[in-house]
Amino acid sequence: MLNIKKTILMLIAFMIACITLYAAPAIAHGEKSQAAYLRMRTLLWYDVDVSTVKLKVNEELTMTGKFYWFYDWPNNIAKPEVAFLNIGIPGPVFVRKASYINGVSGTNSTRFDIGETYEFKVILKARRPARVHMHALMNVKEAGPLIGPGRWVEVTGNQADFINEVTTLTGETIDLETYGLANAVKWHIFWGVIAAAYLLYWIFQGPILIPRYKKVKLLGDNADDMISTTDRMVGLVMLIGTFVVVTWSYFNAYKEYPVTIPLQSGQITIPALPDAARGVNAEVIDAKYRVPGRALEFSLKVTNNTNSPIKLGEYTAANIRWMNPEVSTAEPADSHDPVAVAGLTYEGGSVMPGETKLLKVTCTDAAWETYRLAKLIYDPDSRFGGLVFFFDEEGNRSVVAIGGPLIPVFI
Amino acid sequence: MSAVQSAITTAEQQHRIYKAFDWVVIPIVILVITGAFHIHAMLTMGDWDFWIDWKDRRWWVTVTPISLIFFPAALHYLLWTNFRLPFGATLSCSVLLIGEWANRTANFVGWAYFPLNMVVPAEIIPMALCLDAILLISRSLTITGIIGSMVWGVIFYPSNWALIAPYHVPIEYNGVMMSVADLIGYNYVRTGTPEYIRIIEEGTLRTFGEDVTPVSAFFAGFISVFMYFIWLGIGAWFAKTTWAKRI
Amino acid sequence: MSTPSVEMGGDVSKSLVGWKRITVIILSVTVVMAAWRIYQQLFAWDMGMDSFEPEFQTYWMDLLYAQWIIEFTLAAVIWGYILKTRDKDVFNITPQEELRRYFTLLAYLVCYVFIVYWAASFFAEQDASWHQVTVRDTDFTPSHIVLFYGTMPAYILAGVAAFLYARTRLPQFAENISIPFVIAVVGPFMILPNVGLNEWGHTFWFMEELFTAPLHWGFVVLGWTALALGGLLIQIILRLIALTKLDDEVLVTEDMNDDGSSY
């Protein structure tokens, strides 16, 4: 025989050991599980910023940025026929006061065009004290959440102080935190008491199970006689009473709320922004991923149709930025903002107006591994994508989408 | 079987045993129905029940009564044919509501921090009382199935209107008209449940003008009638006392 | 069959419920469930959002592994114990003893259905409050680890234990297999393998959580099988009627008035 107590004690000790074995550093939250091709070739986010990273309950925060629907959309991912601009936060730490896509309110779901760029703005009001990793996020019907860049944001204060007041079209000012709750609870209690009374009416006639079973069997065809006239009167009163109360409550609610509308489910279409490439064309001629060096190397055929010379300043994909500090600089916003400060180098220099030139670009960083982008070469679809940013001497930016097959180099 | 000897000799002992049996078995029945009915309900009409901005005039009104009549019908079979106890519907709907309230307060509010008014469950007691009352008065499962199930489906929306009407008051918000329920759904961010995932009315049934609700309610009642009988049958199958030598 | 010539241990009709053991069962199950829930409250939002972070491994995957080890151990110990200590003379027990054992079986069933409540009602709907709010990035989320790999194995443990108890200690159940009992234990048990379908579907189709999606209906159908406890209830009642029959009573049987005209 096993000694049960001893076994249980040992298991508990083992579990505690497992839990305490590790130290616990800070945590972000998860887009890394999504396949690399999906992250690189669906929605590409850039210029994402938040107005503040520390605020009190009831204060507001604005998140802004742009997103581009990649032209070479993977075949197995649903296209953004129906999509909804969302925010990735752990529950309503914030309430979304407003969201705009190209200046149009984003309360409804939207249709987007592949190959187009849009800008967004989301205004959030802090509701619950917490330190959260907040993401811009786009839900696409049947494709799922396409996650944008994240920022650590800290909310301080007390949730009890939070108010969320709005004024209805009937002129009433209401707090959405508690609106209608007391009324709903009152009705649930009312009907709950009646249901309990009805159940207890039968249970208190008890013992009800075995004796009633026996009686049903003994009476056979006459088993219905077990239901007395009183019982049936109870049923009749209950039936009529329920009808009366439901009818009264129904018409009373219409009297109290004479103006009501159905749930709104319209969908809108929003025109895209003008082309951000501003006359620059770029095409990937070949691309390799060098596994030992954790580097993406690609040849880019660039045609400059603008009036001034341009240089390559940045490559971004899957919310990771590879910067060429000679042209454009950026620092990580926080511990979980992947920016390879000097991750991009290239050969070929400036592309003059009217010139077509081959640039040899190298994007190096550990992020290829830590953010699981290097897994691309093991995906069933191993084409890569991303955005390249060119800058002219005045700092004007051209954003061009590039992509193509990626060949791994293992040695 | 006839060889079984009795363990007792007096009526008093018998009464005591029957009482003890009730004391243990009634909680068992309550707990198992709470569990089984709740998992059935949450996965067949749960989304409409969780969120205030899903409680529409078409799908919520149609899906909820149809989905919820399964267990009341099965329990009517078990409890009426074997015990002449006419409370299968009230029992199952009451315990379902207890399970829902426990979860909404402890988890939707206590864990995910949604406001409670956003996740109040639908009111399903009145329809259950009607179904049971009609069985009690008619003492017939057939009449209950035909009349009771119709009433069950039809009465669902009127009995909930007193709860949800306040959430259908219109608001102008960022240049768009929304109901209070829509606004609550928009304000309180659900990362995994975007706006478009709602299965709600998208346009009125054109030939009936604005009267979507009565059409949905009668349709729900109509299908509930069929479901009631199907589930009487399934309830009968589950209540079978089959013994087998081997399986 | 032995004759109950002597009333052993006093009046058999008294203290049948066994309030003490019922209280112990309810309290222990509640404590375990509350512990799970508190653990989620403490560590889900902070440590359970990103399955690629090392904290997730520490706080959630290790919990999962610990649960698995404990569950397999407890299953082996409890089921093994019930089988090992089986009544080898089960067909010759006194009616009094059989009556008492029926109430012990009911205590097992209390344990079973109480855990079923926590699994199928409390933690199952809780799953919505997690997955409709977060981005699903693993099959082993803080709600799934507790629901699928914690509470579900727990009720399987109790359900099979109840079945084995009846099979080894009650003459009727030892002689024949109760089909409703099998359904009521195996159906909910099958919910656990059905998790495979769930995760397969969520990996390939849905990253969003629509609770009423057809993908989830396997759980629904298997949940229905708990209704078979109704059949078991009637089986138990029929036997208890025989065990509590008074001399001047007619023995009530299931088909005593069966003319085939009822539903």
| ipTM value for the complex | 0.96
Indicate yes or no: CB of B162 within 8 angstroms of CB of A183: yes
d(CA B42, CA B3): 47
Is residue A219 helix, strand or coil? helix
Cβ pair B128, B75 in contact under 8 A: no
C residues 225-244 closer than 8 Å to B (CB): 225-231, 233-235, 237-240, 242-244
Identify the pLDDT of residue A24. Answer: 34
- Regions of chain A with pLDDT less than 50: 1-2, 17-28
Question: Is A166's Cβ below 8 Å from some Cβ in B?
Answer: yes
Residues A51-98 pLDDT 10s? 999 999 999 999 999 999 999 998 888 899 999 999 999 889 999 999
Domains of chain C, earliest start first: 19-243 (1.20.1050.50)
A residues 364-383 closer than 8 Å to C (CB): 372
Q: What angle do the packed helices B11-50 and A209-219 form, to 10 degrees?
A: 100
Is residue C162 helix, strand or coil? helix
The chains found to touch B (3+ Cβ pairs under 8 angstroms) are A, C
DSSP state of B106: I
Using a pLDDT cut of 90, give the percent of chain A over it: 77
Which residue of B18, B54, B182 is in closest CB contact with A210? B18
Indicate yes or no: CB of B107 within 8 angstroms of CB of C129: yes
| Closest-CA distance of chain C to residue B98, Å | 10
Indicate yes or no: CB of A202 within 8 angstroms of CB of B183: no
| Closest-CA distance of chain B to residue C136, Å | 8
Cβ pair A132, A63 in contact under 8 A: no
d(CA B88, CA A199): 10
Which residue of C99, C129, C238 is in closest CB contact with B241? C238
Cβ pair C131, B45 in contact under 8 A: no
Write out the E strands in A237-294.
267-269, 280-290
A residues 240-299 closer than 8 Å to B (CB): 242-243, 245-247, 249-250, 252-254, 256-257, 259-265, 267
d(CA A184, CA A274): 49
Domains of chain B, earliest start first: 12-237 (1.20.1450.10)
d(CA C153, CA C149): 6
| Closest-CA distance of chain B to residue C107, Å | 8
Pairing of strands A109-111, A43-50: unpaired
CATH of domain A24-163: 2.60.120.570
Taking Cα atoms as reference points, which of A188, A159, A107, A211 lies closest to residue B183? A107
Determine the straight-line distance between the first and last CA of chain C, rounded to whole angstroms.
37
Angle subtended at Cα A110 by Cα A36 and Cα B188, rounded to the nearest 5 degrees = 85
| Closest-CA distance of chain C to residue A153, Å | 13
Angle subtended at Cα A171 by Cα A104 and Cα A95, rounded to the nearest 5 degrees = 45
Identify the pLDDT of residue C3. Answer: 43
Fold of the CATH domain A280-409: Immunoglobulin-like (2.60.40)
Indicate yes or no: CB of A19 within 8 angstroms of CB of C53: no
Give me B188's structure tokens.
């309180």
DSSP state of A205: T
Taking Cα atoms as reference points, which of B223, B241, B239 lies closest to residue B61? B223
Mean pLDDT on B200-223? 79
Cβ pair B53, B184 in contact under 8 A: yes
| Residue reference for tokens 């606004």 | B183
Identify the pLDDT of residue C104. Answer: 97
| Closest-CA distance of chain B to residue A378, Å | 28
Taking Cα atoms as reference points, which of A270, A314, A372, A319 lies closest to residue A135? A319
Identify the pLDDT of residue A77. Answer: 87
d(CA A278, CA C160): 70
| Residue reference for tokens 């089909």 | C179
Indicate yes or no: CB of A195 within 8 angstroms of CB of B133: no
Using a pLDDT cut of 70, give the percent of chain B over it: 96
What residue of B is the nearest CA neighbor of A221?
B81
d(CA A65, CA A49): 6
Pairing of strands A407-409, A280-290: parallel
In this structure, how many other beta carbons lie within 10 angstroms of the beta carbon of residue A274?
Answer: 9
- pTM, two decimals, is 0.92
d(CA B46, CA C81): 40
Question: Is A336's Cβ below 8 Å from some Cβ in B?
Answer: no
Q: How many CB pairs under 8 A join B and C?
A: 259
Burial class (CB in 10 A: 0-12, 13-18, 19+), A299: middle
Integer angstrom CA distances of residue B189 from A93, A137, A270, B100, C18: 8, 11, 22, 21, 49
Write out the E strands in B47-175.
170-173
B31-64 burial: b if 16+ Cβ within 10 Å, else e: bbbbbbbbbbbbbbbbbbbbbbbbbbbbbbbbbb
Residues A134-144 pLDDT 10s? 999 999 998 88
Question: Is C208's Cβ below 8 Å from some Cβ in B?
Answer: yes
Identify the pLDDT of residue A8. Answer: 57
Identify the pLDDT of residue B205. Answer: 56
* DSSP alpha helix (H) spans, C1-132: 19-47, 54-56, 62-84, 95-116, 124-131
Which of B129, B168, B213 to substitute to test the interface with A, most A CBs within 10 Å? B129
Indicate yes or no: CB of A95 within 8 angstroms of CB of B163: no
- Regions of chain C with pLDDT less than 70: 1-9, 203-207, 258-263
The domain segmentation of chain A, as residue ranges, is 24-163, 175-256, 280-409
Indicate yes or no: CB of B197 within 8 angstroms of CB of A187: no
